[in-house]
Amino acid sequence: MSTPVSTLFSGLERRARCAVARPGVLVVVLYFILALIPNLPTWPGDPRRLPICTNCGGAPDIKQTVWFLEWTPEALIHGWNPFVTTYLNYPRGVNLAENTGIPLLGLLSAPITLLVSPIASMNLLRWLAFGLSASAAYFVLRKFVSYLPAAFIGGLLYGFSPYMVTQGGVHLDLMFVPFPPLILLGLFEIVGNNDANPVRWGLATGACMVAQFFISVEVLATTVLVAAIGILLASVMWFRDAPGHIRHAMKGLLLAAGITAPFVIYPIALMFHGPQHYVGPPQGYDEVFNADLLGAVVPTNAQLFAPKHLAQVGSHFVDGVGNIDENGTYLGLPLLALVAYFAVRFRRRREFVFLSALALVVYAFSLGPKLVVDGRVVRLPVGLPFRAISRVPGLDNILPVRLSLYVMFLVAAIVALGVDAQRKRLPHGGSEKLATSYRTGVGHIAIGLVVVLSIVALVPRWPYRSQPLSSRYARFAADLVAIPAGSVVLTYPYPTPFSDDAMLWQALTGMRFRLLGGYALIPGARGAPATGPAVLQPISVESLLVNSYAVAPVSGFPEIVATPYSIDATSVRVERSPSHFSAPLAGSAIHGTVSFIDPSARWFIVDVGLTIRVEVVVSSSTRYVDSGRHIWGVSELRRGELVSVSGNRAFGTVHASMLDGLRDYIDNNRVGAIVVELRKRDSAMIVRWVTATFGPPTRSFTGGVVWIRPSRGESLARRAHLARAELRSAPPTPDARRFRRLEHQLE
């Protein structure tokens, strides 16, 4: 027997049942045509173009995604564990179950990956993500609305929402979201509709949850969280009817859990107890990826039609650094006005009250544990709802701002139901009757205009940036097939979140070799998550390789970069602009830009030109010359400032003793090949260092050099080689005799 809760949407569903039987093929086709726009001129399955992340320092997350897509089929073919690998972060490895491994997408795209390339798979999946997500929302909403355009608008709002637009440029795992609407529909049918078949919906929901787990565990967790909030809210609104749904709900939920558990229990065990698992949230408990209270009304640079000043303000709401890749909270005033109108206009219909209340609660959760308004934290006497779950294992990895996906889905449902309900209020008789009802006609036209304005306000600034692949990566990777299969490879740039080109080379060569370092979450200090790489010995060697290409000092590594020489500074002057350097100081040695500062060690690094960096060592006798502002020591310097430094030159960080350090590093980690990409910052210095240690490269090719099976060689001869190279590169100085004496000693 039906209860009021089970008939909450049943009337709507019955009215739409005939329409559901006739799938909106044209609607789906239109969604997939629109999905072509974001990636132009890249076509679905294009192996020749690589997307570029505008706000994440190039494309590290995108290259990481390419690696994951290649890893799954390679692991299955070779019988490797797809959830654990030592092909990254060798020799310690990476727990892929705790990383965004997208194994389901890697499995589904395996034929294209193996026959064409993982880049082709990624470009295909990025296209499918928009079309499938919009289509899933459309078919879910079509169960409850009889008016096709209403469901079309709802699917459009969900599948092309600001969340999808911002995540679509970076995170394939987070933008591939056709399953959340299906899971929410299945849970509604199980819990809220006693007329539904619990076995059928339990099986379907369990299958969707398994699929979502192997695309993104975080999205599955947030989907279940939103469903739990919805069930709790419905139980409060219809508490008298709740007992009548328990038996039906338990049967379907247990079946869904029974389908899900066998597939996910092993990777979940690896997450909490497997090798190289970390403990705690990657972003820390002091969460910064929270929605701003004004984020729903202030646009970002991701919107095409947005005032420039407002867009700049909105773009700094999340993380405070213009990181719009995580800021998908914008709804726009027209859409908010439309939702408010429908909520008030149809307040007597419980589905509108329920969806409106749920949207507000989910939006409150998206604000995170602390309230942020216009980029500033506002202290409240009580914590926000998210604080209650922020330390629950499994939920502590959630970034609150990403709940904006569900806010938009609920808003899309309200709009679809509202447009459908408004249409049913049209007088019978079509246009003639409408002409006689002027007030009704004007009202419907006004609503139509607001709907159009709502969509226009959300039009994204597309397409995303991309670059041709052939000239830079494909040829480089093709030349690496000379490396013996299964070798451990040391690369420069060293694989880190700042530069993971080596992971792309590895993927394009079919996982031919293992990598030291990598861009993945690994256990750091006390088991807390870190983005790597693991600290290997000697630490000075890895620090130099890591920091020489990093845009900022990497946590856990001393600030050592490749420098051909250093300066014991006698005078330091801050300049006002590169074109107005002051008159040279007495014995002036260098002019350049400050890139690294370590006040505690009393030194900093100066970039001299594009390829050379110099270490400046200060002492109590160093004189600071006033040039526009007061400088009393290294602590007053800032990165990016122009300086003139005078003093005596000495050996830099790549000195003779570092040769033995590099040899030890190669031996300790069983390195079978060294690869250096040319035309990178400090790459010339790294090549000199490796050449001085192991001799000339085994082979040179377009854009790089490689040493295969480097051997220890003769230490003293290599030291002399490096000393001569430094003498030739360093300009004559009063301290040149020091270099010659050291060279004589080495020989």
Residues 334 and 412 reside in one and the same domain: yes
* Element at 68 (helix H, strand E): helix 60-78
DSSP label of 494: P
Measured CA distances, 625 to 253, 422, 637 (Å)? 73, 74, 12
Q: Among 80, 84, 83, 51, which Cα is nearest to 66's?
A: 51
Examine the domain organization and report whether 390 and 514 are in the same domain: no
188-208: per-residue pLDDT in tens? 999 988 888 999 999 999 999
User: Could you tell me which residues are beta bridge partners of residue 574?
Assistant: 643
Kindly indicate the confidence band of residue 13, based on its pLDDT and cuts at 50, 70 and 90.
Answer: low
Could you report the per-residue pLDDT of 114-129, keeping only the tens digit for each? 999 999 999 999 999 9
Residue 1 lies in a domain: no
Domain for residue 542, yes or no?
yes
Q: Is residue 735 part of a domain?
A: yes
pLDDT at residue 5 is higher than 80: no
Residue that is last in its domain, among 601, 636, 651? 651
DSSP reduced 3-state for 307: coil
Q: Which of 2-6, 387-391, 708-712 has the lowest mean pLDDT?
A: 2-6
| Judgement on whether residues 377 and 235 belong to the same structural domain of the protein | yes
Q: What angle do CA 228, 334, 234 make, to 5 degrees?
A: 20
- pLDDT at position 201 is 95
Q: Tell me whether residue 5 is in a domain.
A: no
User: Which SS3 state, helix, strand or coil, does residue 417 take?
Assistant: helix
Please tell me whether residue 136 adopts helix, strand or coil conformation: helix
Which is more confident, 363 or 284? 363
Q: Which residues pair with 598 in a beta bridge?
A: 603
Q: What is the pLDDT of residue 444?
A: 75
> Which range, 442-456, 616-630, 704-718, 730-744, has the best average confidence (pLDDT)?
442-456
Average pLDDT of span 509-528: 91
Residues 289 and 431 in one domain: yes
For range 567-593, the mean pLDDT: 69
Q: Are the C-beta atoms of residues 419 and 433 closer than 8 Å to each other?
A: no
| Final residue in a domain of this structure, among 626, 651, 676 | 651
Distance from the Cα of residue 544 to its chain's centroid: 26
Return the closest-CA partner of residue 669 out of 515, 511, 479.
515
Is 275 among the domain residues?
yes
Q: CB pairs under 8 A, 24+ apart, for 371-376?
A: 371/293, 372/290, 372/291, 372/292, 372/293, 372/317, 373/292, 373/293, 373/294, 374/292, 374/293, 374/294, 374/313, 374/317, 375/292, 375/316, 375/317, 375/320
The SS3 of residue 425 is: coil
Distances (CA, A) of 54 to 168, 328, 464: 12, 16, 8
Interatomic CA distance for residues 238 and 657, integer angstroms: 76
**pLDDT for res 195:** 83
332-354 burial, b if ≥16 CB within 10 A, otherwise e? bebbeebbeebbebbeebbbbeb
Give yes or no: residues 607 and 733 share one domain.
no
Please indicate, yes or no, if residue 4 is contained in any of the structural domains. no
Q: Which residues of 300-309 are buried (b: 16+ CB within 10 A; e: fewer)?
A: bbbbeebeee
Q: Give the closest residue to 210 by CA, choosing from 268, 159, 126, 167.
A: 268
Q: Are residues 346 and 221 in the same domain?
A: yes
Does 449 lie in the same domain as 491?
no
Same domain, 28 and 113: yes
Domain identity same for 606 and 739: no
Confidence of residue 746 (pLDDT cuts 50, 70, 90): very low
* Residue 425, domain extent: 10-457
574 domain residue, yes or no? yes
Furthest CA-CA distance within the chain: 105
Q: Per the structure, how many domains does the chain have?
A: 3
Instruction: Indicate the pTM of the whole model.
Output: 0.86
447, 489: one domain: no
Cα gap 208→534, rounded to integer Å? 36
Question: Average pLDDT in the 325-333 region?
Answer: 93
The 10s digit of each residue's pLDDT in 394-445 is 788 899 999 999 999 999 999 999 999 988 765 554 444 544 455 566 777 8
What gap in Å lies between CA 436 and CA 686, rounded to an integer?
82
DSSP letters along 706-741, please?
Answer: EEES-----HHHHHHHHHHHHHHHSPP-TTHHHHHH
Question: pLDDT per residue over 594-621, tens digit each?
Answer: 888 876 667 888 888 766 788 888 888 8
Q: Indicate whether 73 and 162 sit together in one domain.
A: yes
* pLDDT, tens only, 104-157: 999 999 999 999 999 999 999 999 999 999 999 999 999 999 899 999 999 999
Same domain flag for 526 and 639? no
Domain boundary among 423, 457, 491: 457
3-state secondary structure of 122: helix
Asked whether residue 14 is domain-assigned, the answer is: yes
